[in-house]
Amino acid sequence: MEEVRKRAEELRSLLNYHNYRYYVLDSPEISDSEYDKLFRELKDLEQKYPELITPDSPTRRVGAPPLKEFGIVRHRLPLLSLDNAFSYEELLAWRKRVVGILKKEEFDLVCELKMDGVAVALIYEGGLLTRGATRGDGWEGEDITQNLRTVRSIPLSVKDGSSFEVRGEVFLPREGFKKLNEEREREGLPGFANPRNAAAGSLRQLDPGVTAHRFLDIYTYALGWSERETPPPDHFSALALLESRGFKINPYNILCSSIEEVEKFHQRWKEERKNLPYETDGIVVKVNRFDFQDALGSTGHEPRWSIAYKFPSKEAVTRLLDIGINVGRTGNLNPYAILEPVSVGGVVIGSAGLHNEDYIRAKDIKIGDRVAVHRAGEVIPEVIGPIVSERRGGEREFAMPQTCPVCGAKVVRLPGEAMHRCTNAACPAQALERVKHFVSRGGMDIEGMGEKLCAHLLREGLIKNASDIYFLSKEDLLNLERMGEKSVQNLLLSVEESKGRPFQKVIFALGIPQVGEETAEILAHEFENMDELALAAPEELSLIPTIGPKVAGEIVSFFRNEGNLKLIQKLKEAKVKLSQEERRITLPLEGKEFVFSGELSFPRKEAEEKVKAQGGRVGSSLTSRTTYLVQGKSPGSKLRRAQEEDITIIDEQEFLRLSG
Ligand code: IVH
């Protein structure tokens, strides 16, 4: 029994160590399967001898039963929040106040990244994690111990058996956030607006089993109270102490001796934070020495010895004035947010796509709402969600129109589809989008054919669809407003030039629903010319990898449409190239020369024919052009020479494989 107890202890300490290597240091020493093996061994032992289970056993992270509600924890020392600085001037003003109180010009400052997550306090008693809580109102928080135990980078025990409180920020790395939202989307649940909300939501799960699957992580940033003879003299040493106890400390923390260095740190991370695997919203600056911190004290909710120096916000709040509809190329009704213009990171946003009706419902967006907006991937304007608490009662639910806002035709939503569609193929909005798509960069790339000109030509009746572009005359164009001799000439030149675009570009330009640039390329590869493609049966199309039945169906119905066939006929008349380039077929052994030495199990002549049939050559002696020496039974001197010359030597079997 003593031996079993010792083994269990050994396993626990091994597993805790490897857990630390993996989750805290991010540098594992053993493979996942080796870890799992040790884990299973411990689990089995504990199952057989439950008396061996300790509270810090790595098997005890997950498995606590769900709660009915969270208990309340009163913090021994309040968890303060931070005052903000939004500019270097405000940072300097903060420093001036500090200098005024300390009566000192020189003092060290610690700079840390400001993690965008949820503040928590962890209490260790006699070295064991006994309690974990949210910040709450600063004085009282919620007891989320069971959930925090599932965060793998939080140690369940520390070696020196001390009692103390540590504070930190629990966050969800971008990758985990992405995965979580994808999973929720698959399950038809609304996604979280940002990683912070997702982290908060995950920590407030009553079932710790759910929290355990959320990839949460922590950076600890402060020692709270501590029962220790000599507490560290300053914040930076306190962080080092925490690190030595196995806590995860952000590796980018630095100690600065001047405010200019602080500014440099801020400048650096303002740019580089986008490369971090987690979100940050600023830096936190802290006076290093604890005696200085004490002298500075706090103003109610915020310490005077620290300040959050924020990064320019990439998010803003504005009003959703209305929801507009764009009719797309295939008749899809694309709703978009009409926003009260607002600056986000220096760029004014006035509208943002809203995808479809379900998306608007899932996000609970109402017309008149105050909404949070940002630029997804730092580019595309996106509505994150409404600020529900700011509703005043006058907000309106959005409903898709029953008729097309452009042509008035009936709107339908087909079963299984997210989009509403205008049923009128002749809808002017669709016609414009189709022409725009046809002339776009990825399509026929006709320079000088901007949106305005396309719309103008359609309005004037000079074109009805894209193929008419090829029959425009110089006079037609010269009669248009703002078209001079020179621009007409240039335009006609680019129209002419576009006739020779590669087949795949023409396929893409047609605007077949579901056929993007990639699929167009595949189709161009599979079919000699447009007529062949137009005649392809759905079964034939479905045989092509990456083309599913849905896409196949779209292609077939596109080529069954009378109007589309007419358009293609006109492209043909205009001499637009509707076929593949002449493709020279390369044979597998082209450019390869074989020399034989020794006897094969079949006539040499046969071997030579095989090489020629596959495009290769046969040589009689080794030269610099020889690719392979084929070694048969009792080879001659060629073999030795080939070895000396570093020519690849293959045997009969390998030869047969190469020559098919
Ligand atoms: S120190 C008294 N350090 O920011 C100082 N806070 O806006 C207490 N935060 O509630 C906080 N990263 O949740 C500190 N490196 C960091 C931080 C950090 C993120 C959060 C924390 C705090 C909030 C205040």
Reported as a single tens digit per residue, the pLDDT across 379-395 is: 789 999 998 878 899 99
Strand-pairing partners, residue 326, are 334
Judge if the beta carbon of residue 221 lies within 6 A of ligand 1: yes
Q: What pLDDT score does 583 carry?
A: 58
Which of 77, 116, 137, 221 most suits a substitution to test ligand 1, by most atoms within 8 Å of the C-beta?
221
Q: Whose CA is nearest to atom 2 of ligand 1?
A: 80
Ligand 1, closest atom to CA 250? 15
Q: Is the CB of 284 under 6 A from ligand 1?
A: yes
Per the residue annotation, which of 43, 103, 104, 114 is the catalytic one?
114
Average pLDDT of 205-227?
91
pLDDT at 236 over 90: yes
Question: 462 φ, ψ to 5°?
Answer: -75, -30
Tell whether the model's pLDDT for residue 113 goes beyond 90.
yes
Instruction: Output the CA 88–ligand 1 centroid distance in Å.
Output: 19
Give percent of the chain above pLDDT 90.
Answer: 71
Angle (CA) 174-62-249 rounded to 5° is: 45
Residue 68's pLDDT band, with cuts at 50, 70 and 90, is confident
Question: Which atom belonging to ligand 1 lies closest to the Cα atom of 84?
Answer: 7
For residue 130, give the 3-state DSSP assignment: strand
Report pLDDT for 62.
Answer: 79
At residue 238 the predicted structure's pLDDT band, cuts being 50, 70 and 90, is very high
For this structure, is 410 an active site residue? no
Phi, psi of 629 (to 5 degrees): -105, 120
Residue-wise DSSP of 345-373: TTEEEEEEE---HHHHHHTT--BT-EEEE
Q: Quote the pLDDT of residue 555.
A: 95
- Higher-pLDDT residue of 51, 635: 51
Task: Indicate whether residue 306 lines ligand 1 (CB < 6 A).
Answer: yes
Q: pTM of the entire structure?
A: 0.58
> Could you give the C-alpha distances from 369 to 278, 335, 386, 586, in angstroms and in order?
29, 16, 6, 62
Measured CA to CA in angstroms, residue 636 lies from 253, 332, 626 at distances of 70, 74, 16
State whether the beta carbon of 249 lies less than 6 angstroms from ligand 1: no
Is 80 touching ligand 1 by the criterion CB < 6 Å?
Answer: yes
Name the residue at shortest CA distance from atom 10 of ligand 1: 81
Q: How far is the CA of 170 from the centre of ligand 1 (A)?
A: 11
Instruction: Return the structure tokens found at 190.
Output: 């609304």
- Residue 107 pLDDT exceeds 90: yes
Verify whether ligand 1 is closer than 6 Å to residue 180 (CB atom): no
Confidence (pLDDT) at 208: 87
CA-closest candidate to residue 404, choices 486, 331, 503 = 331
Q: Is the pLDDT at 279 greater than 90, yes or no?
A: yes
Contact at 8 Å (CB) between 375 and 344? yes
Question: Which range has highest mean pLDDT (279-288, 374-383, 541-550, 613-622)?
Answer: 279-288
Domains of the chain: 2-61 (1.10.287.610), 83-308 (3.30.470.30), 315-412 (2.40.50.140), 428-498 (1.10.150.20), 503-573 (1.10.150.20), 593-659 (3.40.50.10190)
Percent of the chain with pLDDT over 70: 99
Ligand 1 midpoint to CA 268 (Å) = 20
